[in-house]
Structure 1
Amino acid sequence: MSIFEPCIGIDLGTTYSCVGIWDNDKVVIIPNDLGSRTTPCYVAFTDTEHFIGDYAYNQAIRNPENTVFNTKRLIGREFDDPVVQADIKLYPFRVIRSPDNRPQIVVQYKGEEKAFYAEEISAMILIKMKEIAEAYLGRIVTQAVITVPAYFNYLQRQATNNAGIISGLDVKCIINEPTAAAIAYGLDKKSSSEMRILVFALGGKTLDVSILTIINSIFEIKSTSSNVNLGGEDFDNRLVKFCTEDFNKKNCVDIKNNNRALKRLRTACEKAKKILSYTSQASIEIDCLAGGYDYFITMTRENFEELNIDYFSECINSVEKVLNDAFLNKNQIHEVVLVGGSTRIPKIKQLLQEFFNGKSLCESINQEEVPAYGAAIQGANIS
């Protein structure tokens, strides 16, 4: 490493977070202690301690009321916000109104009831990312660049900055995720004339589509469209629903309220979804799913696409919306950048390429790591 103070780049995601650093003239995306380059945004509380990341995620089914996730959707919002109210109905943990009308997450921790703001949970995740970087570098890290969605307002950005402060980080910059993605691909240095870039970010929970312009390395977000109710988990849900009904039809056993069976089925469906991005079919096979019955089905890519075609169409609708909002047509877009693991789905890439008349998509960097990659470059520029 250089003699300068290292400044890490953190993509603080909704479902997963990722950390990178500029090291030996290149970006290194740093794996966690389990060897994974992304870490689940889960925090779990028990009678003796709290867990962050994979360990929290892996025990969620046994401890649902005290395992907290998706808090990025709560950060910087008031309790009465429609997004907060909709999410509360889906969370297995309690969310209450604080005296200042903000959402607070309530859990049992070390034998007591504890209430946390969303930024306090985010701070725990940032501490984990900080520790991952420190283990790699062999030194204390104090500086960071953190990404946020382009649609985040002032309060959401300030709450994210506060999460960084709580975690012990000096947040040098809060950077828009589309800007980080453009920096990752070096698009700010590609041309001296105006560049118009569409960033298509489809993660586990949300779809964010943004158009930004770059002139002389100055970024401007022209328009953004966010669907906080469309992501990879929705594709999983369709697959789980199909398999649940199929299992019931074959065995006359309804598992809709069997949380353990549904968790095992969801894990198998998510794995099948990922396999279908690379092959034409995938097996979903679970021993003794429920009622003493095994479950097996072969899912084809075509079947999967049919189950989710309305969601895929929604994705293209969002692209059309940001173009209209920016008063641009698709022929005026110079580059299309893919962000998020769900952009690996072949049908989504096909629809995007067809919409943009066969344009090549920027996907050479791991889609789940693109924002952290760009944030790490920005961190190197700062340090």
Structure 2
Amino acid sequence: MQRLLKQGKLAFGCLDTWLIYKLSGGVVCISEPSNASSTGLFDPYTVHFFYSFYKLSTCLYDMKYLPGMMEWGYGLLQFFSFPTSVLPRLSFSAGVTLAVTDKKLFGAPIIVAAAAGDQQSALFACGCWIENNIVVSLGTGSFVDVNTGASPHCSLKGIEGLYPLVGWKFPNSLKFVAEGCSQDTAIILRWAESIGLFEDITVTSRMAQSCSISGLYFIPAFFGIQTPLNDDTACCGFLGIRPDTTKEQMVRAMLESIAFRICQIWKTVNDEIDTCSTEFVRCCGGVSMNDFICQTISTLIKLPLQRIASPSFASACGVAMMAGITCGLWKKDDLDDLIDIEKTFVPDFSVRKKLLHDFKKWEAAMQRCLHFYDT
């Protein structure tokens, strides 16, 4: 790598960098802030400063003059002797043409009109465009994303708090996101299916609703526990198994664990961000098709949970909506008409006290699984 660096043949980027580079026939090497902000090489506080400064400058009316390279964390990168020459130029997420594909690929050149990170695109698809709009995304992992408007979030909890990301960047518009996550969501359902707890994932909600609460708890930690504990040495575990424990009770415990992890992250959100003005939360992702999980989350967080239509495709829809703005198919003000709420779950206060009791018992059970693989 050192040899390639000296020869000027070494480059670093995100997945969007590689895709756009290949699509453009090696002509365009860029990234955009929502992807770049997940690398650890990006300084959201510096870009916020420069964005605010340039907005006040009358000679620079729009952000097209804002040097993209200012957004990489140059101070920290230089401290660690990171070769900044390998970094791609940062572009917008949408609003301008990012690249044009090599006409050899598709028979004619096609413009690349938008690029965005997975969760940020889902946030956009859910219509959460203003400050304090919140999305719960349930897919490969579970994510709680809060639109923090024009300012990056700064957690006082360090690695145990929410982390700041760029939501999207358009000309004259820059949005930030605060995020907390759990990596174990779809994987625990695939594992449960593989060991024969059910044959079809669509029946899991009915299975959970069909059985009584049994005092059985599942800790979802195949990849450790992320927000707010950040323990990568934690282990998975069923706690409270008895001779009469049924498959239905095991499935219920697993589905509850997904909702309980969201509740843990939600507590962190409430600790760090004023959500008093939040009237609802939206949800997306393939696992959000499970009504039992969505109802449990709504009851725990005490807010209506609105599931968008076609939730499995939220990330693809979000970036497509951005591309439509670039191509002039619609304006930002027209996007409300594109948001379709498929179902709304409202808190069930008749069971909330018992559910919160179970959540506390589940948190106590989790303590047994933390630091399990410590060396």
Greater Rg, structure 1 or structure 2?
2
Normalising to structure 2: TM-score of the pair? 0.41
Compare the two structures and name the one with the higher strand fraction.
1
Greater relative contact order: 1 or 2 (C-alpha under 8 angstroms, separation 6 or more)? 1
Normalising to structure 1: TM-score of the pair? 0.41
